[in-house]
Structure formats: C-alpha cells, structure tokens
Amino acid sequence: MATRLKTPQHDKYSSRRRGVIRHANKMDTAGKSRKKIDAFLVSKDEDIRYLTGFTGEDSLLLTGPNWAHLVTDGRFTTQAQQECSGIDICIRDGSMSVAVSKIAKSHKVRRMGFQSNHLTVAMRDALVANLGEKTVVTSGDAPARVRQIKEACEVEGIVRAIKVAQKAFRKLTSQGMNGFVGKTEGQIAAKLEYLMRNFGADGPSFPSIVAAGANAALPHYSPGCNSKKISAGQCVLIDFGALVDGYCSDLTRVLFTGKIPPEIAEIYPVVLKAQKAGIAAIRAGVSCSKVDAAARSVIEDAGFGDKFIHSLGHGLG
C-alpha cells in the first residue's frame, strides 16, 4: 500500500497549479470549447519543480484546482518532505499508474488532462486501463502556457544564471589567446563548466560547445574525446549557459586566436546592426515574427539574406 505524507501548509505554488487547470480548460486553437477537466497530470521534471519546489525525478504530480499530490518513491521521501509544502506526498510501493489512478479515483476525477508532448504512450495506456478512455484526455501542455509569462522571481533567476555564465566566461578568457592555443576544445569546455559551477551554477544549461576553425560551422558540435587542439589564427565559437536554481542562461561568443579574417570583419558590423535592430523592436505585445523581421531586413539589405537560414532566437527560462 502506498504511504501518504502530509507537508507544512504554507504553499507558495498553489496559484501556479490553479493556472494550469485554467489554461487546460481554455478554448483550443480551433475555437472549439473542450469539456472541462478537473485534474491535470504533470510529468516533466522541470514543470513539477515549478509547481511544487520538488527537485527530484521519476515522479508525477496530479493536481486539481485546490489539491495536489506528488507521486514518488521511497528514495525521495526525505527530499520531498523538505522541498514541498501544502501538498500531499504519495510514496508508491507499486506501479506509478496504479498510484496515480487511486488518487484520481479518491478525488472522483471525471476528466484528467496530461502533458501529451511528454508523457509516454505506455504510461498513458496504463492510465486508460485503470481509469477509462473518457477520463484520460489530451488537453495540451498547460504548464508550458503558464510558464510563458515569467514572474519577477523567475526573471531574477534568469538574470542570476546569465551573470554566472558571464563571470565564468570572463575568467576563461582572462589570459587571452594564451589560455586557448594548445588546449583542446574539450579541455576548454570542461574548464568553462568548472568555472560556472565554481561561481554558483548547479551545472551547465546544456553540454557546452567549444568549436574551433571549421568545426564552428557545425550546429551543436560536440567537443568529445577526439576534440581538436586550438591553433593560433583560428576562430573559436563558444555556446554555453549556466543552470542556477532551475533557470537557464544561453550565451554564444566567437573569439579569434589571432587576426580577424577579412570576411568576418566585413560581416561583423552587419550582424551587429541587425542585432541592435532586433533589440530595438522588442517590447510588450510585439510578435516574435516582427522582431525577427526587423533584424532580418538589415541582413537582407546588406546582401546576405540567403545566409540567414534560421530564426532570430528562442525562448529562455
């Protein structure tokens, strides 16, 4: 039998969980109203943390408008009690689907939404077997919609993550080209990640990319065990970010271990002008496509439009 644990009643995440239910019950993109759900199953670790404060893994969160249950296992008993408040903790001793189903039945849940872009098909099928096809319903990724608008504390978290990454980068480059030439791409990536942790990061936002020379043209290049040594006169692309208290930064920098080639010197002011145009276009209510267009027009006017083969940017958080 699963063990139920109570946590302290102060709950700073309840409004976020209510927001998930509201968004899941909003009209879909076709303008057709869905039948309302009365519970939502959250499966993504990052979203469970956002909605409860719990930083473990292999867990699910079942939440209603005024109640919530974190379903986890015995490894996380102490951690869940320390990190969560105002919700019930279910320490399962059997399958996850059975534990979730029992909780849903105890709340007389008639329609339960879930993160259809994350929950596995196997888990969905197991829940349907226990609760029925009419109860387990696709309702979109409501937590993602809630998280699109950042609270002040979240913006502060992102800023902290940016500052940690910037501080590590400044330290990494403090010796100039002497700190790079003769080192492998992998060694530089490892040092950068060490510095970010040393300055307060939980880890990197993603595996750090250090790409020298022609490798800089490879999207998401991985400096593995066969990474090349950095030579004098090369460009070095560094794509990195810090993870701080669950929030990520993402920065890209290009360095040169020698003189800047004429081709790069020609394109640099164009890209800088495009970046400034994009930043100037950003304000509340402006679509991302308009910001992209502001930057893209600069590059197109300079004759390099066919080389701008990706979108301007992406989300952060």
Cα torsion for 258, 262, 267, 273, to the nearest 10°? 70
Residue 28 has pLDDT above 60, yes or no: no
Are the beta carbons of 165 and 316 closer than 8 angstroms? no
The pLDDT value given to residue 316: 81
Report the alpha-carbon distance of residue 164 to residue 197 in Å, rounded.
Answer: 9
Q: Where, residue-wise, is CATH 3.40.350.10 in the chain?
A: 3-147
Give 224-267 pLDDT, tens digit per residue.
Answer: 777 899 999 999 999 999 999 999 999 999 999 999 999 999 99
CA proximity to 47, closest of 137, 113, 130: 113
Q: Residue 207 has what pLDDT?
A: 95
Asked if residue 137 lies in contact with residue 113, where contact means CB atoms within 8 angstroms, the answer is yes
Selected from 3.40.350.10, 3.40.640.10, 3.40.50.720, 3.20.20.150, the CATH number assigned to the domain covering 3-147 reads: 3.40.350.10
Which residues, including other chains, have CB under 8 Å from residue 283's CB and lie 6 or more apart? Answer: none
Percent of residues, the chain, with pLDDT higher than 70: 95
pLDDT tens, 97-110?
999 999 999 999 99
Q: What is the mean pLDDT of the chain?
A: 92
Report in angstroms the alpha-carbon separations of 116 from 85, 113, 138. 27, 8, 6
Contact present, 49 and 246 (Cβ < 8 Å): yes
pLDDT level of residue 8 (50, 70, 90 thresholds): low
For 266, the token pair is: 């020609």
Residues 137-179: tens digit of each pLDDT? 988 899 999 998 999 999 999 999 999 999 999 999 999 999 9
Report the CATH architecture of 150-259. Alpha-Beta Complex (3.90)
pLDDT at position 219: 85
Closest CA to 212 of 175, 241, 177: 177
CB burial of 163-196 (b: ≥16 within 10 Å; e: otherwise) equals ebbebbbebbbeeebebbbebbbbbbbebbbebb
Q: Boundaries of CATH 3.90.230.10 in the chain? A: 150-259
